[in-house]
Structure 1
Amino acid sequence: MSTKSDFGWAIPIMRAGYAGRALVYLVVAGFSLWAVSRGGEAQGTTSAFKSLESTAGGNVVLVAIFLGMVSYAVWRIIDSIFDLEDYGTDGEGMVARAGMIVTGLIHLGIGFAAVTLIFAGGGGEGDQSAISKGVTTVLGWPGGRWIVGAVGLITIGSALYYLKKAWKREYRKVLMGNPVTRNFDPALRGGVASQGFVVGVIGCLIVYAAVTFSGDQAGGMGEAFDWLRGQPYGRVLVGLLCAGLLGFALFCAVNAAYRIVPKARQESIDSLASRMTEKAKSV
């Protein structure tokens, strides 16, 4: 008979994955915010990794990112298949679970980009993102336009899910209630919202690539930064987004330490949501 502890073996994979994800956003948002503050431009993942590779100890961090991204991809696939976090089988739940696999594969690509850069010695094939390359490849397949369009719509669905989590603070349900999660709650909320915005822009760019039958405009965070920079007060907005993504790096780190996995719980743990509810009732 299945018990909640059956999937306890997945917890270390989850923690390693979220720690690696925190490292990715810390590197990308950190390098980008530093560049913007000095009059430069925000960097996409590939550019940020190249900047990191040229620093002392950068290769060690890139290896850690690779291992973390592999762990995150494995975790997301396991989580989606076995529904370890009880998203369910209704429409919203299935969109969330499909989005897990897409984001897992995307992060796996980020991991390989990091480790490939080590062997390329800072060289490589330029700054074109892995997403743009992948979209261009898939567009050449039979029915590729529909595949790309579907991936774009799933990505937009994931973005809306992030924004909904931030608006309703639903992320509190999967975090342990303790002083760390309570004190950093505003930063966590801003981080989740910032991630939702970035994912939404990426999803729209992928859909646009399907509509125009061209992968040139599709991309990741670098292309999202480029689009935002073209808006009124773009530099300020990019700086704010980078700060928000540092909040998302914190969110990932907090998840690595304090995330609750319903089907792998071995003891009763109060969530941040329940703790905050109790606090509100006591006021």
Structure 2
Amino acid sequence: MALSVSPALPSPSEGIRTLARFGFAAKGIVYFLLGGLALLAATGMKGGQTADKEKAVLTLQELPMGRWLLGLVALGLFGYVIWRFVQAVRDTEHKGTKPMGLAKRLGYAGSGALYAALALYAGRAAVQGAPPSSSGNGRQTLVAKVLEFPLGEWLVGAAALLTIGIGLYQIYRAYAGKFKKDVDSSSLSSEQKQLVERTGQAGYTARGIVLGILGYFLLQAALNSNSQEVQGTEGAFDLLSSMGPAVLGIVALGLMAYGVYQIVRARFPMLQV
């Protein structure tokens, strides 16, 4: 009598890869929406706004089956969070245990924590069918508490310089080609590879500019001992808009490109777990 063989279950590594790919796709959608809204604002078109990531994901609710789409993005973001913590704990990038390597691994965990908050926000909005209640500007509240510490201004100043440094590194990563190792381009033509590379360069440059502005806001808060100086992505877009709609539009297109690159990364991942 023939024995039936049940299909093999995916290994833990395959499961983590799948979570990571969903995460990259969800992150790409968030950035594409973020840049798209800013581009509409720069061109004066209906629906445009300088928004943060929370407001950007909420625009999905306006689409057919919007709550389901928002829920899928939330699940994808949770996948990205898990992948970030796997990177930190299992050292999938081989950063090692020296101070610089540990700092980078801590950065992976920090990124995971930030996206966990966004994933929770999107998930609650999908379940409730309405934006979750907000208790005010969380960044300003946190910075206000830190400023009350001994040497609080120095702590906020250090965070500002770190944020600016990360922003500059994103720009360096764009033009040094560091990001190219994240995409398995073996099945792409030379023209497709070049297009992916240009998209990544534009995306990482725009992201670096926005992070640099966020660091500038933090630095002003430290120098003036005033948490009200702290702004999020929305404030960064407003600052860019004050320089002219063309400036805002260029950065917005760059963020959309970053979103597209993350979606390409989801389709052609280069992952080690």
Matched, 1:121 2:130: yes
Q: Kindly provide the amino acid, as one letter, of the partner of residue 103 in structure 1.
A: S
**Which residue is equivalent to 2:94?**
86
Q: Relative to 1, partners in 2 of residues 1:200 and 1:63: Cα closer, same or farther, differing over 3 Å? A: same
Shift in Å at residue 26 of structure 1? 1.6
> Quick one: distance in 2 between partners of 1:157 and 1:94?
17
Q: Is the 8 A contact 2:121 2:132 kept in 1?
A: no
Q: Kindly provide the amino acid, as one letter, of the partner of residue 196 in structure 1.
A: G
Q: Is the 8 A contact 1:73 1:107 kept in 2?
A: yes
Q: Could you tell me which runs of 5 or more consecutive residues in structure 2 were left unpaired when the two chains were aligned.
A: 1-10
> Quick one: distance in 1 between partners of 2:154 and 2:76?
31
Q: Kindly provide the amino acid, as one letter, of the partner of residue 235 in structure 1.
A: P
Shift in Å at residue 134 of structure 1? 4.0
Q: Kindly provide the amino acid, as one letter, of the partner of residue 76 in structure 2.
A: G
> Quick one: distance in 2 between partners of 1:163 and 1:89?
26
Q: Is the 8 A contact 1:181 1:254 kept in 2?
A: no
Q: Relative to 1, partners in 2 of residues 1:132 and 1:115: Cα closer, same or farther, differing over 3 Å? A: farther
Q: Is the 8 A contact 2:33 2:256 kept in 1?
A: no
Shift in Å at residue 20 of structure 1? 1.3
1:17 aligns with one of 10, 15, 23: 23
Matched, 1:218 2:227: no
1:184 is paired with a residue of what secondary structure? helix
Give matches, 1:121-160, under 5 Å. 121-122=130-131, 124-125=133-134, 130-136=138-144, 138-139=146-147, 145=153, 147-160=155-168
Matched, 1:63 2:75: no
**Which residue is equivalent to 1:161?**
169
**Which residue is equivalent to 2:3?**
none
With normalisation by structure 2, the TM-score equals 0.79
Q: Is the 8 A contact 1:99 1:154 kept in 2?
A: no
1:33 aligns with one of 39, 49, 71: 39
2:89 is paired with a residue of what secondary structure? helix
Q: Could you tell me which runs of 5 or more consecutive residues in structure 1 were left unpaired when the two chains were aligned.
A: 265-283
Moved more, 172-181 or 22-31: 172-181
> Quick one: distance in 1 between partners of 2:16 and 2:206?
28
Aligned residues: 256
Shift in Å at residue 112 of structure 1? 2.2
Matched, 1:103 2:115: no
Q: Once the two structures are aligned, what percentage of the paired residues are identical?
A: 25
Q: Kindly provide the amino acid, as one letter, of the partner of residue 238 in structure 2.
A: D
Q: Is the 8 A contact 1:10 1:75 kept in 2?
A: yes
**Which residue is equivalent to 2:252?**
242
Q: Deviations over 1:101-124 (max 9, x none)?
A: 222222222222223334272473
Q: Is the 8 A contact 1:46 1:129 kept in 2?
A: no
Q: Kindly provide the amino acid, as one letter, of the partner of residue 204 in structure 1.
A: Y
1:216 is paired with a residue of what secondary structure? helix
2:261 aligns with one of 251, 274, 278: 251
Which protein has the larger Cα radius of gyration, Structure 1 or Structure 2?
2
